[in-house]
Structure 1
Amino acid sequence: MSDETLHALLTALGMGLMIGLVRERMHGQPQLAAGTRTHALACLLGCVAWMLGAPAFAVGLLLVGGLTIASYRQTASQDPGLTGEVALLLTVLLGALAAVDASLAAALGVLVAILLLAKAPMQKLSRELISESELQDALMLGAAALVVMPLLPTEPLDPWGAVSPTTVWRIVVLVMAVGMFGHVAQRLFGARWGLPLAGFFAGFVSSSAAVTGMGQSARDNRARTAACAAAALLANLASLLLFVAVVGTVSPPLLSAALPALAAAVLALLTVAGFWLWRANQTDMPPAADSGRAFALSQALLIAALIAGVSLLAAWLGQRFGSAGVLVTTTLVALAEVHAAAAGVAQLQISGAVPLELARWGVLAVLGASCLAKTVLAFASGGTRYGAAVATGLIAMPSAAWLGLLLSN
């Protein structure tokens, strides 16, 4: 017997024992039709039958299927579920897979055991914890990301090659995902800590989407305004850290020259975010309603349209004015995508097209334009109170950067 054959048989035996043990433990009936021994034998049957050839495996699978049907007909009145029957058939298939790829079969076997073991938590999640509106939002997000986006063309439709349907729809999906992420984090950790945590990590993907998603949450419940503002500012902190990394990667000399200004920006934003987080902890916030919506699709579409419009304007200006307005055009690009604009300024500096001194100011101009755009998004998505709270941090960040640059000269 070869080592591969022995490995496959041992894997099949281990999977069968594991799945059968979980099934027998969770079912709780002494006369269980398929328990530990049955699943172990079924998994070995699938493995051996596959080694003997496709006809033998087909016969073995049909026999197990027939026995499973007969067993279900006898127990359907007491246990109408199909989990045990499906698990038994899947055990046979996993045994066959062990003869082909033992590692993959073992991983899937563990997953099957986990799913069987998680019966009670999954039932509670689907029946009690998730509301109908939240389920609708999750399905809408899944359809937007997995069904609609792959069908959209990736080629730009405008004459300047700036915006493609996939790019625009990706923004829509990001706004929806940030809203869903914040909603789930709030349900798990509460508004005080769940929203800031969700905002910070969402900022590495899209701080604009985070500002918009948190604005929607603040509009739905005004008592969460401070927590949502802190989350939005922490998203911008994450985005600023990524901004620094992008500049340093493309042009280390530019990062060294602009480092005092960027450090001042980080400190100012962190201070203001900490203030609103403290305010959130001083506020008596009621828990979110279980039926609350995770995001508003219309708001996501509006934000994507605004960003696409700014990108088209920047592309048109770049073609019209050429190199003479390159920094102005790059600054306009920052209204839609700050990291791309930062990389553009750094690339211009490292290639010699823009002097280092001018590029330093260009980096701050990009940062200021991005803050201006996000301030507008904050007021548009969350209203006056939320917009004003977010604006305190977004104004403090470039102001501190400009002051830091002036003092470092």
Structure 2
Amino acid sequence: MAMDWNAAPTGLATALGIGLLIGAVRERQHAERIGMAGVRTHTLLALAGALAAGFGTATLLVTLLAVALLGLASYRISRERDPGLTGEVAMLVTVLLGALAQQAHALAAALGVVVAILLWAKAPLRRLSRDLISETEMQDGLVLAAAALVVLPLLPDEPVDPWGVLQLSMLWRIVVLIMAVGMLGHVAGRAVGTRRGLPVAGFFSGFASSTAAVVSFGQRGRKHPAMQRPAAAAALLANLASLLLLVAVVGTVSPALALAAAWPMAAAAAGLLLVAATGLLRSTETGDPQGDSSARAFHLTHAMLIALLIALVMLLSEVLLRLFGEAGAMLGAAIAALAELHAAGATIARLASLGEISPVEARWALVALLASTTLAKTLLAFTSGGAGYGWRVGFGLVLMTVAAAVTTAFTTY
């Protein structure tokens, strides 16, 4: 069906702008190449696409075929000195964007800008893919993309167990969340390089395992006594990352609880950050270098293990709920927090989302989880790093819990 030509000027103007933009980028990047499609060619191609779309699908297909034949002829002439296909593909994309401008001019304009950026960023993108990203990082990126874009949409939203507890899509979202946070942390660490050292290592290791970070930095501080203060600060930053991940996990299961607990969690984070910053300011140690491209951005097995623990804790909580009521379920979560904070947090969030516990009870339950993990990690800090390290880490963790408790007591949701 032919379009209303009275409404065509907006689409034609958008197509004109798209062609000028893409053509200008192509011409500036290949000014030395004779016969290359530049500003005039791409502008005409975009206008041809817009006009062809106005005459109907058959005309647009004929136009695309004609441009494809022209691109093939151009490639046969230039392939010896320029074997790439970017220019020929850009011609077809310009026609399609011109056609799209007649139906959705805002979307076409946005895509035109994206295409222009991609064409302009040839050298940076080549350096990124060939030099900056390692083979390991590429593999991790593909795994993350597959988990988020392939596996997650296939999982059902309905519970798969007789008790209505285990929702596969929710559990896998947590897996994707953990991997995505690990990837973000790895990229940030690579970008920072050696200039930040131990604090960066501490913070981003907390997204993987704050418990392991406490032990690891404690052993480092025991081996090098001069590093006890920055090692303790790094361990507290790891727990800050773990706290942020807890908020994200709770928000995945129960957005309402995450909102209700925003102020207590913010106060807990501020307590950790205050003690960590004090330790770093009083230290002259520069820390260890970062930016290892061979390191894994995340461990899929670790993310899946956390999801499995969350599922097990949810099932245990459901059993305790049926046997002893809500008090039993929260006690089970508090015990689980000794080993895995995020699994316990997901359990509390689930109870809150189902209405088994009130928002006030859920907020205090999260404080109880922080108290439980504080106890466990403080003991680990004394065991792994000695008294000096243990007191510093323990003080930061206790301040985290006290800040959350005081804020919970004096704020409403």
Fold shared by both chains (TM-score > 0.5): yes
User: Cα 1:130–1:214, aligned 2, differ >3 Å: closer, same or farther?
Assistant: farther
Question: For 1:94 and 1:226, how far apart are their aligned partners in 2?
Answer: 55
In structure 1, the gaps of 5 or more residues are none
What is aligned with 1:114? 117
Question: For 1:210 and 1:82, how far apart are their aligned partners in 2?
Answer: 42
Question: For 2:84 and 2:233, how far apart are their aligned partners in 1?
Answer: 44
Question: For 2:175 and 2:402, how far apart are their aligned partners in 1?
Answer: 30
Q: Choose which of 296, 300, 303 in structure 2 pairs with 1:300.
A: 303
User: Cα 1:74–1:400, aligned 2, differ >3 Å: closer, same or farther?
Assistant: closer
Question: For 1:117 and 1:5, how far apart are their aligned partners in 2?
Answer: 30
What is aligned with 1:126? 129
Q: Which amino acid is the alignment partner of residue 13 of structure 2?
A: L
Question: For 2:26 and 2:233, how far apart are their aligned partners in 1?
Answer: 44
What is aligned with 1:189? 192
Q: Which amino acid is the alignment partner of residue 106 of structure 1?
A: A
User: Cα 1:114–1:268, aligned 2, differ >3 Å: closer, same or farther?
Assistant: closer
User: Cα 1:183–1:62, aligned 2, differ >3 Å: closer, same or farther?
Assistant: same
Q: How many residues align?
A: 384
Cα distance, 1:304 vs structure 2 = 2.4
Q: Which amino acid is the alignment partner of residue 348 of structure 2?
A: A
Contact persistence 2:193–2:290 (CA under 8 A): yes
User: Cα 1:361–1:51, aligned 2, differ >3 Å: closer, same or farther?
Assistant: closer
| SS state at 1:181 partner | helix
Cα distance, 1:227 vs structure 2 = 7.1
Cα distance, 1:316 vs structure 2 = 0.9
What is aligned with 2:12? 9
Cα distance, 1:57 vs structure 2 = 1.8
Q: 1:299-331 CA distances to partner (integer Å, 9 max, x unpaired)?
A: 222222223222221111011112564653564
Q: Which amino acid is the alignment partner of residue 113 of structure 1?
A: A
Q: Choose which of 250, 265, 284 in structure 1 pairs with 2:287.
A: 284
Q: Choose which of 222, 231, 235 in structure 1 pairs with 2:241.
A: 235
Cα distance, 1:371 vs structure 2 = 4.5
Question: For 2:198 and 2:91, how far apart are their aligned partners in 1?
Answer: 43
Q: Which amino acid is the alignment partner of residue 235 of structure 2?
A: A
Structure 2 counterparts to residues 306-385 of structure 1, below 5 A: 306-323=309-326, 325=328, 327-328=330-331, 331=334, 335=341, 336-338=343-345, 341=348, 364-369=367-372, 371=374, 375=377, 384=384
What is aligned with 1:144? 147
| SS state at 1:190 partner | helix
Cα distance, 1:268 vs structure 2 = 3.5
Contact persistence 1:251–1:350 (CA under 8 A): no
User: Cα 1:155–1:82, aligned 2, differ >3 Å: closer, same or farther?
Assistant: same
Contact persistence 1:214–1:229 (CA under 8 A): no
Question: For 1:360 and 1:105, how far apart are their aligned partners in 2?
Answer: 47
What is aligned with 2:32? 29
Q: Which amino acid is the alignment partner of residue 39 of structure 2?
A: T
Matched, 1:156 2:132: no
Cα distance, 1:198 vs structure 2 = 10
Moved more, 75-84 or 268-277: 268-277
Cα distance, 1:269 vs structure 2 = 2.2
Q: 1:46-68 CA distances to partner (integer Å, 9 max, x unpaired)?
A: 11111122222222221111111
| SS state at 2:102 partner | helix
Matched, 1:168 2:171: yes
Question: For 1:328 and 1:128, how far apart are their aligned partners in 2?
Answer: 51
Q: Which amino acid is the alignment partner of residue 62 of structure 1?
A: L
| SS state at 2:325 partner | helix
Q: Choose which of 29, 39, 42 in structure 1 pairs with 2:42.
A: 39
Cα distance, 1:78 vs structure 2 = 0.5
Identity of aligned residues (%): 47
Matched, 1:71 2:71: no
Question: For 1:125 and 1:71, how far apart are their aligned partners in 2?
Answer: 29
Question: For 1:157 and 1:379, how far apart are their aligned partners in 2?
Answer: 37
Question: For 1:56 and 1:111, how far apart are their aligned partners in 2?
Answer: 26
Cα distance, 1:7 vs structure 2 = 1.0
Moved more, 299-308 or 76-85: 299-308
Q: Which amino acid is the alignment partner of residue 148 of structure 1?
A: V
Q: Cα RMSD between the aligned structures? A: 4.5
Cα distance, 1:174 vs structure 2 = 2.2
Contact persistence 1:330–1:345 (CA under 8 A): no
Moved more, 173-182 or 111-120: 173-182
Moved more, 91-100 or 3-12: 3-12
Cα distance, 1:361 vs structure 2 = 6.2
In structure 2, the gaps of 5 or more residues are 221-226
User: Cα 1:368–1:35, aligned 2, differ >3 Å: closer, same or farther?
Assistant: same
Q: Which amino acid is the alignment partner of residue 234 of structure 1?
A: L
Contact persistence 1:181–1:198 (CA under 8 A): no
Contact persistence 1:331–1:341 (CA under 8 A): no
Q: Which amino acid is the alignment partner of residue 322 of structure 2?
A: Q
Contact persistence 2:100–2:108 (CA under 8 A): yes
Contact persistence 1:175–1:212 (CA under 8 A): no
Cα distance, 1:288 vs structure 2 = 2.5
Cα distance, 1:349 vs structure 2 = 8.0
User: Cα 1:406–1:182, aligned 2, differ >3 Å: closer, same or farther?
Assistant: closer
| SS state at 2:25 partner | helix
Question: For 1:372 and 1:158, how far apart are their aligned partners in 2?
Answer: 34
Tell me the TM-score normalised to structure 1 length: 0.76
Contact persistence 2:179–2:299 (CA under 8 A): yes
Moved more, 145-154 or 88-97: 145-154
What is aligned with 1:180? 183
Question: For 2:409 and 2:111, how far apart are their aligned partners in 1?
Answer: 60
